[in-house]
Each structure stands twice: as C-alpha cells, then as structure tokens.
C-alpha cells in the first residue's frame, strides 16, 4: 500500500462507504506493478441504494434553478483547481501518465465543468409560430432523468467530467462507474462537488465488477439515460442493454485515426504535431493519430522525422523528473503491443524504432514506429491503443481518402496539406466525427466530441454535450 494514495470507497449520498460485494480486484501503480489499494466492490444492495438515492435527489435537483446549479458547478471547478497538485499526483499514481499531463488533464476537467455550468444556463426552448391565433406552441428542454455513466481509465478526469458536468448542469442526477484501474481520480472529483454544496445523491460513484454494475443499473427503471466511453465491443453490449428500456444512450467508442500527409504538406509541422499527439498518454487515446498514409514524395522524410522524435523520448515513471512518456495503464496493453507489433513485422512491416518493453517492471512500452505496414496486418485494422505509429505509402489523394475510410471506425481523422481545395474535399469525404487539418486540436470543452460508424453514437462536449441530457417537451396552450 502507498500511504499517499487516497482511501477508496463507494460514494453515495456524499459519503464514502465500503462496498459490500464480493470479489477481489487490485488497483496498481502501472509504473511499478505495486498495489495501491483494493477496489471497493459494490453489491446489488449497494447499487439499489445508489439508485434510490439518485431518484430521490432528482426530484429536488430538477427544480433547482439553472443559475444555482451553475454556481455549485463553478465552485466545484474552483476546488479542483485549488487542489490540482494533489489530484494530479493521484491520477499519475493510478494511471501512469506524466505528472505534467495529469495536471493539464485536471485543469481541463475544471474547464469542462465551468463550461457546462454556463451552458446549462442557456438550455433554451423556443416558441413555434402557431397556425391558430389562440394556440401557442412552445418547447421546453427538461432533464432526461437519472443517468448511469461508465468511464474508462485513459482519461480518468476529463471523460467523467464531460459526463458528470453535462448531466448535472442539465438538471439530471448521475451514478458513475469509473474504471477499475482509476477509481481515486473520480472520487476526488465527487468529493470536490460535495464540498461545493452539491446536494446528497445528485452524484454517486460506484465501483466493482463492470458487467454486474452496468447490467444492474441499466435494467433499473430509475435510469433514463446511459453514457459509456470504452471499446466498441463493450459499447455494443451497453447499447443492447439500453435498448431493452428504450433509454437514451451516448456511446464514445474506439477509433483508428488516419493521418493523411499529402504531397504539399509542411512536413516538419506534420512530424512535430504527429509525434506530440501520438505519444501523449502513451498513445492510449481514442483520437490518437495512428494510421499514417504518407505521399510517396515525402514518405522518407516523414518516417525519418517521426522515428527521430520517437526515439528521443524519455520513457519512465510519470512522477519522475524529466519523463516524457509514462507506462501503459495495465498489462493488457503490453500484451496487445507485443501481439500487434510482432504480427506486423511478420507481415512485412519495417520497425524503425521501439518495438519492445525496455523495462523489467511496470507496464512500459517504448515509442514505436512501423513503416511499410501492409493493410492486411492486424494493427492496420484493430485499434492499437498504445505508443505505436503505423506508416504506409500512398501515391494520390484518392488512394489516401479510400484508405482512411476503409475501416468501420469513424472517430477522429487528420490531414496535412497546404491546398485549400484538398482541405475542402477532405472535409466532405472523410468519414469521421472530428477532422483536424494541419492541427490536432479537436478536443475542447466547447467543441462537440463524437464518432460515426462503429466509433459511437452522439456527442459529448459543446452544446451538443448538454443536449444529450435534455428531452424536448412540446407545450400547446390555448
């Protein structure tokens, strides 16, 4: 046990309490493999209490004015900022990312909460011109109801912040299950909300066996909206469970972002931006640039540039001074890297740097670049979710667009080109929920975040993110 790691528990009615379920899961520091704590396991009874609490709280919270809700949210954001050093350290301990990245993530979570605090005050209905002078048609936006939210381990602060802040700002209550690997970050955020004056039961946190929790919560008639971020496979199951009760659902799933580096691109810019975004969070980002389709005239320069930058990164414990990339979050990712990279090399890919763990403890993987990767290699088809860039030569814009759209994923896509006509064409033809052209900044509080095809359903972030928690009610008055 590490004494600096906070005490875990379920957080129901603003109180930390032990889970009464059976099961044994360890929370570990991915940089060392050492145990930080045992994960509290919610029992069916605990989940029922969270549900009842959420239902009770909703009856009151929906009547609290948008202004008052906004004030509580903004206060919570302020508390998170004031404790950013402590929160960031906890985040790095349980997730592995570099401390500076953890700090940025906590500040981004506060920013998201502030943004939804304000957006909740703008949940306007409208008046519809009537066909008859004595009848007035108007719409009201009303909170959907209690929400069940499920968040993953790669961004333990920002992803829950989007779900929690939007639901609370809309007047919903929320039960959230953070990932088994990273429970403490979410608990810290929930405690900040409690300190800010959030009434009991508006935000409850449960942990335990993920399938048991999602099945139990989604089956309850109390839950009216489901939000999940994670893999496409689990998202499909969550969608199926939600369909049973015709519940509204938002799914943020896997991606396999293509990057089109066209003949007229600024190659230096393409290399430096791609390296920064590829290896951030050790590549465990659903919008991470992954499949690089590079025009043959600039291919060698791009591969050499990316390789040099990847090889120069200092990989170590995220808490250590000077670290530029931390470990992977769990042993599943290390196994996936081994499997996908060896398959690609067997299929004919050329390893230009990395390709191994480089450590004898913790879940490390060296920044890796694979060039000349055949489209049939598994890594060109399965989301790698790790620090590996796969590069492939193309000889035309048509070929690059066809390759980019080839997979069932459609989350993020990127391109580098100096030509406006190429940009316009890509904007129309690339199948993705988000497209970055000459930059990769596609993920801010005020911008919609979501995928098409098998990458998801609905948007988080932006005003779209608030509307995901609001129903439209028509009122016809005479």
Is the separation of the CB atoms in 147 and 227 below 8 Å? yes
Instruction: Specify the stretch interacting with ligand NAD by CB under 6 A; choose among 113-121, 188-196, 251-259, 362-370.
Output: 251-259
Q: Hey, which bits of 178-299 come out as E strands?
A: 203-205, 225-229, 248-252, 257-261, 289-295
Q: Of 120 and 235, which CB lies nearer to ligand NAD in the complex structure?
A: 235
Give the footprint of ligand NAD on residues 112-171 (CB under 6 A).
150, 152-154
Instruction: Specify the stretch interacting with ligand NAD by CB under 6 A; choose among 140-148, 206-214, 290-298, 401-409.
Output: 206-214
Identify the residue among 120, 145, 230, 362 touching ligand NAD (CB under 6 A): 230
> Phi and psi of 156, rounded to 5°?
-70, -10
Counting every residue, how long is the chain?
Answer: 478
Identify the residue among 158, 253, 261, 265 touching ligand NAD (CB under 6 A): 253
375 counts as catalytic: no
Rg (CA), the chain: 23
Identify the residue among 32, 231, 272, 438 touching ligand NAD (CB under 6 A): 231
Give the footprint of ligand NAD on residues 291-350 (CB under 6 A).
332
Q: Of 152 and 410, which CB lies nearer to ligand NAD in the complex structure?
A: 152
Q: Tokens at residue 165, please?
A: 């802040």
C-alpha span between 435 and 465 (Å, rounded): 18
Is the separation of the CB atoms in 469 and 166 below 8 Å? yes
Q: Of 116 and 153, which CB lies nearer to ligand NAD in the complex structure?
A: 153
Task: Output the smallest distance, CB 401 to ligand NAD, in A.
Answer: 24
Is the separation of the CB atoms in 147 and 223 below 8 Å? yes
> Phi and psi of 291, rounded to 5°?
-95, 110
Binding-site size for ligand NAD (CB under 6 A) equals 21
**Among residues 278, 259, 264, which one has the least CA distance to residue 401?**
259
Contacts 24+ apart (CB under 8 A), 123-130: 123/66, 123/170, 123/466, 123/470, 125/472, 125/473
Task: Output the smallest distance, CB 76 to ligand NAD, in A.
Answer: 23
252 counts as catalytic: yes
Q: Of 152 and 305, which CB lies nearer to ligand NAD in the complex structure?
A: 152
Instruction: Specify the stretch interacting with ligand NAD by CB under 6 A; choose among 30-38, 91-99, 109-117, 249-257.
Output: 249-257
- 186 touches ligand NAD by CB under 6 A: no
Strand partners, 357: none
Catalytic residues: 252, 286
Which residues of this chain interact with ligand NAD, rule CB under 6 A?
A: 150, 152-154, 179-180, 210-211, 214, 229-231, 234, 237, 252-254, 286, 332, 383, 385
């Amino acid at each position: 046990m590490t004494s600096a790691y906070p005490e875990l528990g379920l957080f129901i009615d603003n109180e930390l309490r032990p889970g009464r379920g059976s099961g044994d899961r360890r929370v570990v520091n991915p940089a060392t493999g050492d145990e930080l704590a045992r994960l509290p396991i919610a029992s069916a009874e605990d989940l029922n209490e969270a549900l009842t609490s959420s239902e009770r709280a909703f009856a009151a919270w929906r009547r609290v004015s948008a202004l008052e809700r906004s004030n509580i949210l903004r206060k919570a954001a302020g508390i998170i900022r004031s404790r950013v050093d402590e929160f960031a350290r906890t985040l790095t301990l349980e997730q592995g990312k570099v401390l500076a990245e953890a700090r940025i993530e906590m500040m981004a979570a506060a920013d998201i909460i502030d943004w939804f605090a304000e957006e909740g005050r703008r949940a306007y209905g409208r008046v519809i011109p009537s066909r008859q002078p004595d009848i007035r048609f108007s719409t009201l936006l009303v909170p959907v109801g209690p929400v069940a939210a499920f968040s993953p381990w790669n961004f333990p602060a920002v992803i829950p912040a989007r779900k929690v802040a939007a639901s609370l700002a809309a007047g919903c209550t929320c039960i959230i299950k953070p990932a088994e690997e990273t429970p403490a970050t979410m608990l810290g955020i929930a405690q900040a909300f409690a300190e800010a004056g959030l009434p009991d039961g508006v935000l409850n946190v449960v942990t335990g066996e993920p399938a048991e929790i999602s099945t139990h919560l989604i089956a309850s008639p109390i839950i009216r909206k489901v939000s999940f971020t994670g893999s496409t496979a689990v998202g499909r199951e969550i969608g199926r469970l939600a369909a049973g009760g015709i519940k509204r659902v938002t799914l943020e799933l896997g991606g396999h972002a293509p990057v089109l580096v066209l003949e007229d691109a600024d190659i230096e810019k393409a290399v430096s931006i791609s390296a920064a975004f590829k290896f951030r969070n050790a590549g465990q980002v659903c919008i991470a640039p992954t499949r690089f389709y590079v025009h043959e005239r600039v291919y060698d320069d791009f591969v050499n540039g990316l390789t040099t930058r990847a090889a120069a990164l200092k990989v170590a414990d995220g808490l250590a001074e000077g670290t530029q990339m931390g470990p992977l979050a769990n042993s599943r990712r290390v196994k996936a890297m081994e499997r996908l990279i060896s398959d690609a090399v067997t299929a004919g890919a050329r390893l230009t740097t990395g390709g191994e763990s480089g450590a004898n403890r913790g879940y490390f993987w060296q920044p890796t670049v694979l060039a000349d990767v055949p489209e049939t290699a598994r890594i060109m088809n399965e989301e790698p979710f790790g620090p590996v860039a796969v590069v492939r030569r193309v000889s035309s814009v048509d070929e690059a667009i066809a390759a980019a759209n080839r997979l069932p994923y459609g989350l993020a896509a990127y391109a580098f080109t100096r030509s406006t006509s190429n940009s316009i064409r890509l904007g129309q033809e690339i199948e993705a929920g988000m497209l970055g052209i000459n930059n990769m900044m596609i993920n801010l509080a005020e911008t919609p975040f979501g995928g098409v095809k098998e990458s998801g359903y609905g948007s988080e972030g932006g005003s779209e993110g608030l509307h995901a928690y609001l129903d439209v009610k028509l009122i016809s008055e005479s």
